[in-house]
Amino acid sequence: MKKIIVGILAISSSFLIMFTFTTGAGLNKKVSAQNNNGFVESDIEYNKDIQDEVLQEVGYKLYKEGYSFGMEYEISPNKKVEIEINSVDKEATEKIKNEMKQIAMEVIKDTKYEPELFKINVTDNSNAERSGK
C-alpha cells in the first residue's frame, strides 16, 4: 500500500512539475513577444520622428535657400541614418554640395539626435547621365 501511495505522489509531482514548466515557458514566450512588439513600435516611432523632425526640416531649409534637389534616406537597425541629397543642378560644384551638406548638418545639430548617427551624401545628376541612367 505504501508503494502505491509513493508511486501516485511521484507521478502527480512529475505532472505538476511538467505543467509548471510548460506554463512558465508559454509565459516567457508571451513576454518575449510583447517586448519584441515594443521594440518594433519604438523603431516605427524612431523612423517617424526622423522623418518629421529631421528630414522635413532639412528639405525645408534647402528649399528656403533656393536649392533644387531630391532626397532619399535609409535608417539601419542600429538607428544610423544615411541621407542622400541629389542636386538637380547637373553640374553642382563642390562648394554647392558642401553648402547643402552643411545646412543638413546644422538642422541635425538643432535636433535631439546625435550628429554621429547621420551620414550625409550630396550628389548631382551629372554622374547618372554619364552612366546612361
Predicted local confidence at residue 21, as pLDDT? 47
Give me the number of domains the chain comprises. Answer: 1
In this prediction, residue 84 carries a pLDDT of 95
The pLDDT assigned to 125 comes to: 74
pTM: 0.63
79, 47 contact by CB (below 8 A):
no
Q: Helix, strand, coil shares of the chain as percentages rounded to 5? A: 65, 15, 20
- What is the predicted pLDDT for the residue at 41? 63
**What burial class does residue 24 get, using C-beta atoms within 10 Å of its C-beta: 0-12 exposed, 13-18 middle, 19+ buried?**
exposed
What range does the domain containing 100 cover?
2-130
- pLDDT per residue of the chain (133 residues) written in tens, 0 to 9: 666 665 565 565 554 455 554 444 444 444 444 444 454 566 888 899 999 999 999 999 999 999 999 999 999 988 999 999 999 887 778 999 999 999 999 999 999 899 999 999 999 876 554 444 4
